[in-house]
């Protein structure tokens, strides 16, 4: 196996004296994990940082063996996160979810665009909005997307106000009002493709995506939900 690709570093693990096991979220090949010889040398310290965009040359003699990687830095995106504790926290969430949820060596297709947008637009005022879209479409990529097209009870497309935690489907205002304490708020900004929502709207969306990721992915696969992601909604709401 041999290929060339580009993408974002989402995990670095020490291997031996000065080598690394690196995981990269790639444009064409999805999540790629491989061995980097001498990755911990002083000249490479700035390269192997979470969020950096890199070019990879990957190869293995046998398809079942771990890939060997040669890495070239494209853009040092990590520096755009380091001076803001909230951005650094969200970057950790982004990397952890990609690492634990995405399969290896499977194309991400359109989903890669949402990941790329989050990293590329971290300097914008609405950077958290881009992260919210990333999590929402992560659900869709994993096959547990929400049905926000119409009310699951009446079939109406007007006055959609809630989302059911049981079904992941929309509920209209008149049906859901008596049970609103047990329902999630409908993410209007997602449907409207509004990338500048209010902090309260983003916090509600993140509470919902956390719930469905936990229920329909992590619990099913007996995986531990990333600690850095817990209570992120409350942090965003207060920021």
Q: Are residues 223 and 105 in the same domain?
A: yes
Q: Are residues 111 and 195 in the same domain?
A: yes
Q: Are residues 100 and 49 in the same domain?
A: no
Q: For residues 161 and 106, what is the distance between their CA atoms, to the nearest angstrom?
A: 36
Other residues' Cβ atoms within 10 Å of the Cβ of residue 40:
16
Q: Are residues 222 and 105 in the same domain?
A: yes
Beta strands in the chain (DSSP E): 2-15, 19-26, 30-36, 53-59, 67-75, 160-163, 170-172, 184-185
Question: Is residue 95 domain-resident?
Answer: yes
Question: Is residue 178 domain-resident?
Answer: no
For residue range 135-144, what is the model confidence (pLDDT) as tens digits?
999 999 999 9
Q: What is the mean pLDDT of residues 183-201?
A: 95
Q: What is the mean pLDDT of residues 101-122?
A: 95
pTM for the predicted model, two decimal places:
0.93
Instruction: Using the predicted structure, report yes or no on whether residue 239 has a pLDDT greater than 70.
Output: no
**Per the structure, how many domains does the chain have?**
2
The CATH number for 8's domain is 2.40.50.140
For residue range 11-68, what is the model confidence (pLDDT) as tens digits?
999 888 888 999 999 999 999 999 998 778 777 888 999 999 999 999 998 777 899 9
Choose the final residue of a domain: 48, 78, 108: 78
Residue numbers of the domain that contains 41 = 2-78
Question: Is residue 113 domain-resident?
Answer: yes
Choose the final residue of a domain: 78, 93, 116: 78
Q: Are residues 90 and 69 in the same domain?
A: no
pLDDT band for position 192 (cuts 50, 70, 90): very high
Choose the final residue of a domain: 78, 113, 129: 78
Question: Is residue 124 domain-resident?
Answer: yes
Q: Are residues 21 and 132 in the same domain?
A: no
Question: Is residue 115 domain-resident?
Answer: yes
Q: For residues 184 and 165, what is the distance between their CA atoms, to the nearest angstrom?
A: 7
């Amino acid at each position: 196996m041999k290929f060339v690709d580009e993408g974002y570093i989402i995990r670095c693990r020490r291997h031996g004296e000065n080598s690394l096991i690196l995981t990269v979220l790639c444009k064409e090949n999805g999540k790629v994990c491989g061995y980097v010889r001498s990755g911990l040398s002083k000249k490479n310290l700035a390269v192997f940082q979470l969020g950096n965009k890199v070019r990879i040359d990957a190869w293995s003699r046998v398809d079942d063996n771990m890939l060997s990687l040669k890495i070239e830095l494209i853009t040092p995106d990590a520096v755009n996160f380091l001076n803001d504790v909230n951005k650094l926290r969200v970057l950790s969430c982004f990397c952890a979810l990609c690492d634990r949820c995405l399969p290896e060596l499977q194309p991400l297709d359109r989903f890669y665009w949402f990941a790329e947008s989050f990293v590329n637009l971290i300097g914008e005022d609405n950077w958290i909005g881009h992260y919210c879209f990333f999590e929402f479409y992560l659900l869709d990529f994993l096959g547990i997307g929400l049905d926000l097209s119409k009310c699951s009870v009446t079939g109406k497309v007007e006055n959609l106000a809630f989302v059911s935690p049981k079904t992941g489907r929309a509920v209209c205002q008149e049906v859901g009002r008596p049970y609103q304490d047990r329902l999630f708020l409908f993410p209007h900004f997602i449907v409207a493709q509004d990338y500048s929502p209010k902090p309260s709207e983003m916090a509600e969306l993140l509470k919902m995506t956390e719930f469905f990721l936990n229920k329909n992915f992590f619990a099913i696969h007996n995986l531990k939900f990333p600690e850095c992601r817990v209570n992120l909604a409350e942090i965003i709401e207060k920021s």
